[in-house]
Amino acid sequence: MLRKEQPILLIQPVKVAGYLAGEGIAYQTSPSEIVIAQNNLWAESLSQQLTERLVNQLRKPKANYWPMYPNASLSSGKMPRLQLNISRFDGDYQGNATVAGDWMLVDGNGDIVQSQTFFAQSPLEHEGYQALVNALSKTLDKVIDALGFDLSKTK
């Protein structure tokens, strides 16, 4: 729930690397090759899923900001914005799920307040699509929790 002292933070749609923009889950089969699954597909766009997850997970009781989606009912010209860019969101032949990219916090004047790159991995508990999805979810949790911690240090 939004508290009066919490400024609104507009969460821009998460940008994903081109190879992640399709419907299939990505899997790295060697150091230089990534394949996109034809049968194991995302239910909706990965960008949309990641944006929703980011907003919901950053809405914690002690957050300095209240994350919101940009919408026409907000006069958003001078509100801070968060942009998350995902360069990797895949499993690999070594049994890991990887989430990597960068994020940038921009103030209402368009100046960068903070930015950071990230790289996180979690091992798959066993082989298979469901294990990969679970490991990607855990890894994304780590990334968003770290981002939330960094945001809690800014005002």
- What domains appear along the chain, each with residue ranges and CATH number? 8-147 (3.40.50.10610)
Per-residue pLDDT at 47 exceeds 80:
yes
What predicted TM-score, i.e. pTM, was given to this entire model? 0.90
Mean pLDDT of 14-31: 93
Give tens-digit pLDDT for 101-153.
999 999 989 999 999 999 999 999 999 889 999 999 999 999 999 999 999 88
Which one has a higher pLDDT value, 3 or 13?
13
CB neighbour list of residue 123: distance below 8 Å, 6 or more residues apart: 95, 96, 97, 135
Per-residue pLDDT at 5 exceeds 80:
no
75 confidence band (pLDDT: 50, 70, 90): low
Which pLDDT value is given to residue 81?
94
Rounded distance between C-alpha atoms, residue 13 and residue 49, angstroms: 10
Q: In sequence order, what E strands does 59-153 have? A: 66-68, 81-92, 96-106, 112-123
- 5, exposed or middle or buried, with CB in 10 Å at 0-12, 13-18, 19+? exposed
Q: For 110, left (φ over 0), alpha (ψ -120 to 50), or beta?
A: left
